[in-house]
Amino acid sequence: GIFIATNPVPIKEALNLKGINVGPCRLPLCSMEDKELMAFKEILKKHKIIN
């Protein structure tokens, strides 16, 4: 779940996916890799957090 990437990256991604624009992570953190993001989206969909 949220430990798929370094915190607070997954939290920010989840909020952005829900339509709550919190923007990108600041350095030294970076956005999730595409593979991680796809897996994270599936987890969020499974738990009905996003559509």
pTM: 0.78
* Domain span including residue 24: 2-46
Residues 4-50 pLDDT 10s:
777 889 999 999 999 999 998 888 888 889 999 999 999 999 999 99
Q: Based on the structure, what is the number of domains in the chain? A: 1
Question: Do 18 and 49 form a contact (C-beta atoms < 8 A)?
Answer: yes
User: Looking at the domain assignment, is residue 51 inside a domain?
Assistant: no
pLDDT at 51: 87
Angle at 49 between CA 28 and CA 12, to 5 degrees: 15
Nearest to residue 37, comparing CAs of 25, 27, 26, 28?
Answer: 25
Instruction: Please state at what angle helix 9-17 crosses helix 34-46, rounded to 10 degrees.
Output: 60
Report the amino acid identity of residue 44: L
pLDDT at 7: 80
User: Looking at the domain assignment, is residue 29 inside a domain?
Assistant: yes
User: Residue 8: how many CB atoms within 10 A of its CB?
Assistant: 13
pLDDT at 2: 66
